[in-house]
Amino acid sequence: MLPAATAASAQSFVPESFEPPRAVDAGDFVLKPLGPELAEIDYEAYMSSIDHLRATFSRSSSWPREDLTMADAFVDMETEKQRFDARTSFAYAVLSPDETIELGCVYVYPSDRSDFDASIRLWVTQKQFDLGFDDELFAWTKIWIAEEWPFVKPAFPGRDISWSDWDALEKPL
């Protein structure tokens, strides 16, 4: 659901030698790359939390839209899989341990701001937010990115840096 990475940013986003995780078992939840096989539970998750996601993740009223269809979801999941395989961005479903419920998502993208080498965004459903899982997932994600990914200065826009400060940062030419 985020803009596609450019070819230029893909060249320096992750080293060729880096193998992005394909499955992560965090105990209370698991991460799997988004793809068509997860379209139905991904769709169910974000459609259950439209107002919450517009307020906490997307910063706009364009996603998720009430009129999104399952066909739209499958196209989006195929696009996310292609980006993952091309190493231009990495989108993960955050699933229950039995992988039957999507709790949220984590996105690892190249940064479009000069001061950072990656931009990490995440969301959880309204239900999971109400249960306090947003804070847990954010804390876990910060450690995971620091320990498992090759970034020197990742950004967590809207979390570690306010949206207004993020928007004010210089974009490279």
Q: The domain that contains 108 carries what CATH number?
A: 3.40.630.30
- Per residue in 97-150, pLDDT (tens digit) is 999 999 999 999 999 998 899 999 999 999 999 999 999 999 999 999 999 999
**12 in any annotated domain:** no
| pLDDT value for 55 | 86
**101 in any annotated domain:** yes
**152 in any annotated domain:** yes
Instruction: Give me the domain span that covers residue 120.
Output: 19-168
**31 in any annotated domain:** yes
Average pLDDT over residues 52-65: 82
In the chain, the number of structural domains is 1
Helix (H, G, I), strand (E, B) or coil at 106: strand
Report the mean per-residue pLDDT for the chain.
90
Whether the full predicted model's pTM is greater than 0.85, yes or no, is yes
**5 in any annotated domain:** no
Q: Would you give the DSSP letter of residue 58?
A: I
**50 in any annotated domain:** yes
**164 in any annotated domain:** yes
